Amino acid sequence: MNTKPIPVIITLAAAFISCVVSILQKVEFAVFVRRLFLVVVIFLFMGTIIKIILDYSFRTLEPQTPLDEAISEIDPTVDDEDEEEEDSSVEPQESEEG
């Protein structure tokens, strides 16, 4: 699962809510900026922790695939080349007797 945008989404949502609340309360600009900065830092940290937890849990849920299967999924021609090499190495040997 792609968990890369999770910290950014959480941070932006928290910042938006903080901005709306600060505007409704009609706070001064310095207080507004201080609140926004604290909210962004705190929720970015929390989002990163959530991302790490999700990455770990999804990694343990996915079954481990052997390397041969993973390579064949990426490049299916690898198996064909291996089979051709095996077939060519089993050429009949001519005997010297006759």
The confidence score (pLDDT) of residue 97 equals: 60
| DSSP-assigned letter for residue 87 | H
What pLDDT is stored for residue 3 in this prediction?
84
Per-residue pLDDT at 20? 97
Q: Please report the pLDDT score of residue 44 as a whole number.
A: 96
Q: How far is CA 7 from CA 1, 4, 37, 38, 87, in A?
A: 14, 7, 15, 15, 53
pLDDT value, residue 58: 81
- How far is Cα 39 from Cα 46, in angstroms, rounded to an integer? 10
State the pTM of this model. 0.60
Check residue 85 and give its pLDDT. Answer: 55
Give the residue ranges of the chain where pLDDT is below 50.
none
